């Protein structure tokens, strides 16, 4: 071997070592194999670890699937089909993982018969490249899946060939067959019908001329004749300063645009509902700040929108209601409840309390995290005031029931089942409340013979029996007063006066009955004595007719209060009799008995005297009278005037609606005006105006009306230097206005 040849060999070996190539030599005829150190190093071995090196060692290291492709490539080269052998295979590394190698080889010698003898080749580690290629392939697949999921297709316009190319997704977007091959002249049918052809042509021309990309949204008309929103993106590509193609993407955004349109519509509907709702509406932050409020809420609380947005709901919540509200807010934030409702109080801008019904719900994001609260706020102040007034009335009624120890008050259902059995009824009948309420009817108090007499007296074609006999006619007359004999628990009997009244709901429909009764045994005895005296004094009655009428009228007014305690009734009767002298002398003596009289005191006293009558008739009385208003007059006259007008209002109440009496008083110059207004039957003033205050004139057809009361009342008022007037409408109600001299005016004149 010459020095020159050795030098060349050395140089080649250095190049091989520097290139980190593994080399191999294989004698096809003898199966002798020669590897260099780097061939073993690629697989993590030292060369001596692989000794003896034979062909079987190679077959054990190669990946099974790659063995076939490698053998095929080698056979092609050995059979002269290819000029060299080249393939990519995986070999097992010493640590167990697979190493990608580029395997190249070529026949370098043949025997005398021309058969291949030695083949030499190299192994190059290409694991890094293969990993990158595999990753790139995965990314391509992922991109394709993403495009399909996002309905994004690709397209290309070759300007040199005037050729359009569509991807599979683009074909699907246009709803054409899968094999569809688009042509430029066919595109008009997709775009022209929707009016977008000029827009697209302009964008393409601008891209060709000015190298401007475009991005536009419009509707296309698909092959299935469906209008569809798409987004079209185009990017021009140049070669030698000439645009040769435009490539881009097309995305199906039809559902998105429709969803956005629907969302915009819903947002507008919400805005209209929010802004123009009759009730207050608001959006609040998680800390309680007002984020957005509507006009109704601002009007309810008296704040401007800007003022309210500077506050929190805690700032204007009544202190006693705040703890409950914050507790419910915490439950809402914790997800224990989805919404809540509560009645609470706010302070408006003026500091007044506003009662509201608050409904709160939570808006959360897609991850379930709280975003803000939505509140609906309804003003219930008037309802709460009525509830408080009703509670006060109920408390007063309960107090009256509990105080009426000698007046029996029993309320029943429509079928007679007892609901209320007061202390007076317990004292008179000797039953306990627990024995009767919800268990029995009032029939047990009545002797059977009296019930039979009642059935005979009704003489109705309708079969009426049992409890129905006791309330017959009450629904049409509103109340019925009769004398009965009642049976106590110990079977003893006593005489009673019973007034039965229909209890009605807010629509005027009966939903029960009220029995008010008291023991009249002593009165019955007195009645017998009175009859004897009346027979002896019959001739004197003619001389005292007018006087007797006046006395009977005032006695009858007090008789309406018979359901009060007998002690109180006796006191009232004695007071009336004591005042008769003053009434008889109405035209002869006024100023000598004049005194300073407190209006409210007398009104409350008269209402107390009439309280049982008020309770029995379900009457609501509203007062608007200052406690310091006083007039100058006669106490007996003032009491008689008020009793007469108030009892008339109750007596002549409407049969179709609950009675409501309004009593007010105010100063009017040197006088005090007292107004008594009701919603009762009213008087037809077109017919009776000139007769209203006349003697013996009646207007409602009541059997016990004698036409004396208003005549006496007018005379009493005029004797105290006052006037009386009225406004009335049939079946609407009546308002009496009384003007009496103010005590302040009299005092000033004396001074």
CATH of the domain at 83: 3.30.450.20
Q: What is the pLDDT of residue 698?
A: 66
The answer to whether the bond into 202 is cis (omega within 30° of 0) is no
SS3 (DSSP) at 464: coil
Task: Give the pLDDT score at 675.
Answer: 96
One domain for residues 600 and 668: yes
pLDDT at 86: 92
743/613 same-domain check: yes
Contacts of 683 (CB under 8 A, 6+ apart): 692, 699, 726, 728, 730, 734
**What pLDDT, in 10s, does the model give residues 585-615?**
444 444 446 789 999 999 999 998 888 888 9
Same domain, 585 and 696: yes
Q: Check residue 565 and give its pLDDT.
A: 42
pLDDT of residue 589: 45
Question: Is 140 among the domain residues?
Answer: no
Q: Among the three residues 257, 285, 316, which one is the final residue of a domain in this structure? A: 257
Round to whole Å and give the CA distance between 230 and 182: 18
pLDDT single digits (tens) 439-477: 777 788 889 888 888 888 776 555 667 788 888 877 776
The pLDDT > 90 percentage for the chain reads: 26
Distances (CA, A) of 498 to 397, 457, 481, 520, 563: 19, 17, 6, 10, 9
Domain count for the chain, please give it.
5
Residues 616 and 737 in one domain: yes
- Structural domain for 22, as ranges: 3-127
State whether 122 and 155 are in the same domain. Answer: no
Q: At 168, is the secondary structure helix, strand, or coil?
A: helix
- The answer to whether residue 140 scores a pLDDT higher than 80 is no
Res 697: pLDDT: 64
**What is the rounded (10 degree) CA torsion for 29, 35, 39, 43?**
80
Domain contains 142: no
Tell me which long-range contacts 148-155 makes (C-beta under 8 A, separation of at least 24).
150/251, 151/251, 151/252, 151/253, 152/249, 152/250, 152/251, 152/252, 153/249, 153/250, 153/251, 154/247, 154/248, 154/249, 154/250, 155/247, 155/248, 155/249, 155/250
Question: CA 345, 351, 353 angle in degrees (round to 5)?
Answer: 25
Distance CA 560, CA 576 (A): 14
531: in domain:
no
Give the residue from 379, 407, 435 where a domain finishes: 379
pLDDT at 566 over 60: no
Per-residue pLDDT at 579 exceeds 60: no
How much helix, strand and coil, in percent to the nearest 5, is found in the chain? Answer: 45, 30, 25
Residues 397 and 521 in one domain: yes
If we measure between CA atoms, which residue out of 509, 450, 452, 531 comes closest to residue 485? Answer: 450
> Would residue 495 count as lying in a domain?
yes
- 727 and 582 in one domain? yes
Residue 572 burial by CB count (10 A; 0-12/13-18/19+): exposed, middle or buried? buried
Inside any domain, residue 132: no
Q: What is the pLDDT of residue 703?
A: 58
Is residue 99 domain-shared with residue 246, that is, in the same domain?
A: no
* Residue 620 pLDDT greater than 90, yes or no: yes
Q: Which of the listed residues 526, 549, 574 is the one where a domain comes to its end?
A: 526
Determine what percent of the chain is predicted with pLDDT higher than 70. 80
Helix (H) / strand (E) element for 119: namely strand 116-125
pLDDT digits (tens, 9 = 90+) for 682-725: 888 887 777 777 766 666 556 555 567 788 888 889 888 899 99
Max mean pLDDT among 389-403, 456-470, 505-519 falls in 505-519
Q: Which 3-state string (H, E, C) describes 273-298?
A: HHHHCCCEEEEECCCCEEEEECHHHH
For the range 234-241, what are the long-range contacts, defined as Cβ-Cβ under 8 Å and sequence gap of 24 or more?
Answer: 234/157, 234/203, 234/204, 234/207, 235/207, 236/207, 236/208, 236/211, 236/212, 238/211
Strand order in the sheet with 214-221: 163-166, 152-158, 242-252, 227-239, 214-221
- pLDDT of res. 665: 95
pLDDT for position 585: 47
Mean of pLDDT over the chain: 81
Is the pLDDT score of 327 beyond 80?
A: yes
Per-residue pLDDT at 534 exceeds 90: no
Who has greater pLDDT, 68 or 703?
68
The alpha carbon of residue 230 and the mean position of all alpha carbons in its chain are separated, in whole angstroms, by: 41
Give how far the C-alpha of residue 232 lies from the chain's centroid of Cα atoms, to the nearest Å. Answer: 46
Asked if residues 727 and 682 have their Cβ atoms less than 8 Å apart, the reply is no
Q: Is residue 749 over pLDDT 50?
A: no
Please give the pLDDT value at position 209. 86
Question: At 187, is the pLDDT very low, low, confident or very high (cuts 50, 70, 90)?
Answer: confident
Per-residue pLDDT at 79 exceeds 70: yes
Residue 262 placed within a domain: no
Same domain, 236 and 278: no
> What is residue 332's predicted lDDT score, i.e. its pLDDT?
92
133 lies in some domain = no
pLDDT of residue 539: 41
pLDDT of 352 above 90: yes
312/163 same-domain check: no
Confidence label for 144 from pLDDT (cuts 50, 70 and 90): low
One domain for residues 240 and 336: no
- Asked if pLDDT for residue 568 goes beyond 60, the answer is no
Mean pLDDT check: name the lowest of 353-362, 558-567, 640-649.
Answer: 558-567
- Distance in angstroms (rounded) separating the CA atoms of residues 37 and 48: 9
Q: Which of 571-575, 613-617, 676-680 has the lowest mean pLDDT?
A: 571-575
pLDDT of 135 strictly over 90: no
pLDDT band at 623 (very low <50, low <70, confident <90, very high): very high
Tell the residue number behind the tokens 């507790």, with chain if given: 327
Residue 750: its pLDDT value, please? 39
Q: Tens of pLDDT along 363-382? A: 888 888 999 999 999 999 99
User: Residue 485 falls within a domain, yes or no?
Assistant: yes
Same domain flag for 283 and 357: yes
Where on the phi/psi map is residue 32: left (φ > 0), alpha (ψ -120 to 50), or beta?
beta
Measure the CA dihedral 237/239/244/248, to 10°.
Answer: -10
How would residue 15 be classed by pLDDT, with cut points 50, 70 and 90? low
- Answer yes or no: is pLDDT of 210 > 50: yes
Cut 0.75: pTM above it: no
The C-alpha atoms of residue 132 and residue 109 are separated, in whole angstroms, by 37
Interval 2-24 mean pLDDT: 64
């Amino acid at each position: 071997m010459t020095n020159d040849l050795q030098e060349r060999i050395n140089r080649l070996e250095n190049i091989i070592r520097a290139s980190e190539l593994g080399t191999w030599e294989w004698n096809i005829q003898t199966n002798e194999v020669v590897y260099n150190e780097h061939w073993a190093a690629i697989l993590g071995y030292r060369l001596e670890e692989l000794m003896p090196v034979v062909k079987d060692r190679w077959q054990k290291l190669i990946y099974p699937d790659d063995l076939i492709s490698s053998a095929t490539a080698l056979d092609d080269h050995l059979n002269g089909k290819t000029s060299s052998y080249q393939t990519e295979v995986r070999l097992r590394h010493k640590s167990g993982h697979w190493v990608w190698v580029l395997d190249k080889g070529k026949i370098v010698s043949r025997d005398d018969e021309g058969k291949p003898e030695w083949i030499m080749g190299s192994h190059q580690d290409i694991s890094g490249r293969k990993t990158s290629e595999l990753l790139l392939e995965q990314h391509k697949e992922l991109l394709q899946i993403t495009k399909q999921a996002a309905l994004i297709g690709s397209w290309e316009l070759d300007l040199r060939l005037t050729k359009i190319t569509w991807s599979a997704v683009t074909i699907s977007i246009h709803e054409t067959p899968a094999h569809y091959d688009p042509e430029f002249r066919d595109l008009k049918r997709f775009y022209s019908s929707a009016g977008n052809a000029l827009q697209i042509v302009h964008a393409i021309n601008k891209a060709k001329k000015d190298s401007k990309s475009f991005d536009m949204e419009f509707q296309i008309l698909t092959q299935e004749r469906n209008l569809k929103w798409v987004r079209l993106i185009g990017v021009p590509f140049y070669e030698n300063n000439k645009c040769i193609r435009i490539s881009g993407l097309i995305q199906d955004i039809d559902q998105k645009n429709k969803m956005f349109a629907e969302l915009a519509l819903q947002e507008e509907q919400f805005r209209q509902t929010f802004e123009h709702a009759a009730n207050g509406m608001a959006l609040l932050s998680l800390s309680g700040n007002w984020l957005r409020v509507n006009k109704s809420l601002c009007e309810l609380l008296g704040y401007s929108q800007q003022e309210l947005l500077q506050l929190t709901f805690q700032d204007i919540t009544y202190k006693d209601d705040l703890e409950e509200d914050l507790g419910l807010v915490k439950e809402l934030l914790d997800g224990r409840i989805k919404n809540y409702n509560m009645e609470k109080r706010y302070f408006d801008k003026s500091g007044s309390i506003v009662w509201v019904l608050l409904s709160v719900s939570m808006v959360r994001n897609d991850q379930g995290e709280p975003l803000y609260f939505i509140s609906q706020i309804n003003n219930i102040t008037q309802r709460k005031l009525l509830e408080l007034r009703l509670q006060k009335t109920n408390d007063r009624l309960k107090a009256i029931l509990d105080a009426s120890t000698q007046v029996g008050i029993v309320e029943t259902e429509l079928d007679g089942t007892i609901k209320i059995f007061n202390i007076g009824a317990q004292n008179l009948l000797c039953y306990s409340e627990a024995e009767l309420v919800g268990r029995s009817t009032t029939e047990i108090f009545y002797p059977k013979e009296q019930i039979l007499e009642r059935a005979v007296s009704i003489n109705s074609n309708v079969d009426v029996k049992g409890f129905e006999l006791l309330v017959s006619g009450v629904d049409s007359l509103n109340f019925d007063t009769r004398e009965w004999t009642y049976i106590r628990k110990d079977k003893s009997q006593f005489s009673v006066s019973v007034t039965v009244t229909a209890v009605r709901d807010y629509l005027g429909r009966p939903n029960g009955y009220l029995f008010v009764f008291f023991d009249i045994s002593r009165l019955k005895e007195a009645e017998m004595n009175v009859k004897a005296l009346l027979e002896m004094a019959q001739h004197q009655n003619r001389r005292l007719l007018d006087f007797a009428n006046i006395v009977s009228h005032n006695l009858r007014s007090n008789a309406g209060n018979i359901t009060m305690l007998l002690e109180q009734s006796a006191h009232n009767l004695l007071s009336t009799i004591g005042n008769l002298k003053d009434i008889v002398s109405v035209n002869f003596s006024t100023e000598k008995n004049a005194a300073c009289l407190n209006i409210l005191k007398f009104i409350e006293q008269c209402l107390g005297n009439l309280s049982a009558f008020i309770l029995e008739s379900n009457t609501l009385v509203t007062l608007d009278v200052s406690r310091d208003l006083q007039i100058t007059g006669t106490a007996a006259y003032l009491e008689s005037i008020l009793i007469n007008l108030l009892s008339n209002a109750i007596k002549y109440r409407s049969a179709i609606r609950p009675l409501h009496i309004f009593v007010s008083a105010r100063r009017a110059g040197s006088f005090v005006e007292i107004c008594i207004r009701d919603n009762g039957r009213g008087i037809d003033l077109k017919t009776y105006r000139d007769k209203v205050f006349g003697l013996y004139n009646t207007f409602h057809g009541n059997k016990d009306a004698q036409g004396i009361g208003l005549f006496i009342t007018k005379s009493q008022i005029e004797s105290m230097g006052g006037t009386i007037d009225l406004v009335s409408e049939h079946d609407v109600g009546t308002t009496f206005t009384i003007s009496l001299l103010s005590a302040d005016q009299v005092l000033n004149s004396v001074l």
